[in-house]
């Protein structure tokens, strides 16, 4: 089978080299560049299946360097999915990268470098798998098969709709949402959720930060935040509760 071609953009040569080696072990063909302008030019002349770009791909010390989003915007215009990879994750940049209204998302996913290379590989495989849906796949299902407004999860078919539009979530985001959706209305501890996502031996002390990042990304995918929750409600001293039919409310943390 032909190797999938990825374009990796990051101004950190050591990170590019390490991630390239990791991805090549997963049988991807990688081209890596250190400048967003060069990447944008390359996209116009070379065919790639996916772009991996650092958020701050010019200057890591500049809080206003969103050059990775500019690469993602150009890739989106060419129909190429992008994953934003960053050492400086924030709710605001996740929301900007993954926003779906009124435009298609600039990025298909957003991964923290702190989550490690396997999280990036998992995101790449998930996004590319979603791109391979056949013509009669769920994304083109008939209107009669499309749920109405609100959030709907088909746990048997592993499909998710938000306000009548099917969305494709990264694997860990889907696993977290499926568990919450299947236990809607119940308070679930963060410790339980960490074990669901990272394995029965996982501990909050070791995986807590990664889990909070995952929870934040899921909230962005669902169009909410911890400050303005809609479906995922944080309960002080208890954990998290999922509401299938929410009313406007505030987090209880």
User: Average pLDDT over the chain, rounded to whole?
Assistant: 81
Mean pLDDT of 5-13: 93
State pLDDT tens for residues 89-143.
555 555 555 554 345 567 788 888 888 888 888 888 888 877 665 444 444 443 3
C-beta of residue 29 within 8 angstroms of C-beta of residue 44: no
pLDDT value for 163: 82
How many C-beta atoms lie closer than 10 Å to residue 216's C-beta? 19
Residues near 99 by Cβ (< 8 Å), separated by ≥ 6? 105, 106
pLDDT value for 142: 39
C-beta of residue 88 within 8 angstroms of C-beta of residue 55: yes
Q: What is the bridge-based pairing of β-strands 151-154 and 165-167?
A: unpaired
Q: What pTM does this model have?
A: 0.57
pLDDT value for 136: 43
Which residue carries 């099917």 as its tokens?
166
C-beta of residue 92 within 8 angstroms of C-beta of residue 99: no
**Domains plus CATH for the chain?**
5-131 (3.40.50.2300), 138-242 (1.10.10.10)
How far apart CA 32 and CA 34 sit, in angstroms, is: 7
pLDDT-based confidence at 40, cuts 50/70/90?
A: very high
The rounded Cα 252 to chain-centroid distance in angstroms is 25
C-beta of residue 9 within 8 angstroms of C-beta of residue 32: yes
Edge to edge, the sheet with strand 151-154 lists 151-154, 159-162, 165-167
Q: Which two tokens stand for residue 170?
A: 């990264």
Residues near 4 by Cβ (< 8 Å), separated by ≥ 6? 28, 29, 49, 50, 128
Q: Give helix then strand counts, H and E, for the chain.
A: 8, 11
Mean pLDDT of 51-75: 81
3 state SS for 107-132: CCEEEEHHHCHHHHHHHHHHHHHHHC
pLDDT value for 176: 93
């Amino acid at each position: 089978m032909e190797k999938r071609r990825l374009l990796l953009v990051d101004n950190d040569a050591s990170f590019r080299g390490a991630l390239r080696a990791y991805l090549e072990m997963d049988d991807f063909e990688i081209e890596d560049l250190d400048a967003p302008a060069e990447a944008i030019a390359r996209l116009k002349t070379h065919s790639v299946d996916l772009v991996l770009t650092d958020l701050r791909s010019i200057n890591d010390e500049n809080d206003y360097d969103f050059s990775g989003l500019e690469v993602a915007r150009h890739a989106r215009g060419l129909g190429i999915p992008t994953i934003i990879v960053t050492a400086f994750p924030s709710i605001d940049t996740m929301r900007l990268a993954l926003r779906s209204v009124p435009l298609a998302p600039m990025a298909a996913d957003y991964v923290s470098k702190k989550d490690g290379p396997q999280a990036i590989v998992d995101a790449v495989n998930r996004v590319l798998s979603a791109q391979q849906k056949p013509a009669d796949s769920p994304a083109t299902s008939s209107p009669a098969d499309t749920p109405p407004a609100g959030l709907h999860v088909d746990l048997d078919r592993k499909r998710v709709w938000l306000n009548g539009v099917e969305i494709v979530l990264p694997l860990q985001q889907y696993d977290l949402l499926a568990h919450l959706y299947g236990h809607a209305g119940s308070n679930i501890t963060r410790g339980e959720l960490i074990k669901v996502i990272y394995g029965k031996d996982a501990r909050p002390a070791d995986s807590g930060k990664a889990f909070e990042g995952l929870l934040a990304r899921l909230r962005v995918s669902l169009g909410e935040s911890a400050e303005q929750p809609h479906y995922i409600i944080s309960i002080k001293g208890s954990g998290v509760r999922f509401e299938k039919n929410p009313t406007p409310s505030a987090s209880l943390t």
